[in-house]
A and B are shown apart, each in its own frame.
Chain A
Amino acid sequence: DIVMTQTPLSLSVTPGQPASISCKSSQNLLYSDGKTNLCWYLQKPGQSPQLLIYEVSNRFSGVPDRFSGGVSGTDFTLKISRVEAEDAGLYYCMQNIQLPYTFGQGTKVEIK
């Protein structure tokens, strides 16, 4: 199975400041069609996960542009340019190139 490792596991951010979460995969996530199958989800308190980013850097419908994703090799990054109170929750990366799909451990983002 592909192992997804997230860092840090928790983060405390002041509103208006940037935040960054890393996710490293144990294998290459580049598919034969040229797409890289890595996505990010946010689980707000008391809610189910919601899709933020897919294929490394594409924002899902309705996701604010303060969220962005990037990659360097097998190291993936989710960035929030200016954190808002509504961004609090658990962030997960997931690889969907190979079954079983696997998730990172989650990063808890707290707003100061």
Chain B
Amino acid sequence: EVHLVESGGGSVQPGGSLRLSCVASEFPFSHYWMHWVRQTPGKGLVWVSRISGDGSTTNYADSVKGRFTISRDNAKNTLYLQMNSLRAEDTAVYYCTRDCSGPSCWGLIDYWGQGTLVAVSS
């Protein structure tokens, strides 16, 4: 079964940085687009970013564009989210998710990791 394990969350002051990681297993990682989605009690689920299987294409939500960078290392089956200039409103549980990526299901988020909590506060 698809396995996604996030790490790297924690507490950070406004303006600080964090890098989230997500180790994937039980599927051919390089063949799949991947997304980050975050969840807060107030705003619910919010899509953050996505990256193509080879890493050449990335997209971002307007709220994080210019501050967050999504990347991947296919040799390590690992997805990353570098978060800079963090703000209080970035406080959330961040989920690593897989895109189905097939010809009949491209764009569909089918599996989620367990999430990692990022808390931005002074």
Contact surface of A with B, Cβ cutoff 8 Å: 37, 39, 47-51, 54-55, 60, 92, 94, 96-97, 99-106
Are A103 and B107 in touch, CB under 8 angstroms? no
- A66 CA / B2 CA spacing, docked (Å): 24
Are B45 and A48 in touch, CB under 8 angstroms? no
Determine how close the nearest CB of chain B comes to the CB of A23; give it in whole angstroms.
Answer: 13
Are B61 and A103 in touch, CB under 8 angstroms? no
Contact surface of B with A, Cβ cutoff 8 Å: 35, 37, 44-47, 50, 59, 61-62, 95, 105, 107-115
Are A101 and B47 in touch, CB under 8 angstroms? yes
Determine how close the nearest CB of chain B comes to the CB of A31; give it in whole angstroms.
Answer: 9
Are B47 and A48 in touch, CB under 8 angstroms? no
Given A48-B112, A60-B110: A103 touches B59 (CB 8 Å cut-off): no
Q: Which of B35, B45, B62 contacts A49 (CB 8 A)?
A: B45
Are B61 and A100 in touch, CB under 8 angstroms? yes
Q: Which of A96, A97, A106 contacts B109 (CB 8 A)?
A: A96
A103 nearest CB neighbor, chain B only:
B45
Determine how close the nearest CB of chain B comes to the CB of A107; give it in whole angstroms.
Answer: 11
Are B47 and A50 in touch, CB under 8 angstroms? no
Which A residues lie within 8 Å of B50 (CB)?
A: 99
**17 contacting pairs across A/B (C-beta < 8 A):** A37-B107, A37-B108, A48-B114, A51-B109, A54-B105, A96-B109, A97-B107, A99-B59, A100-B61, A101-B35, A101-B47, A103-B44, A103-B47, A104-B44, A105-B44, A106-B44, A106-B45
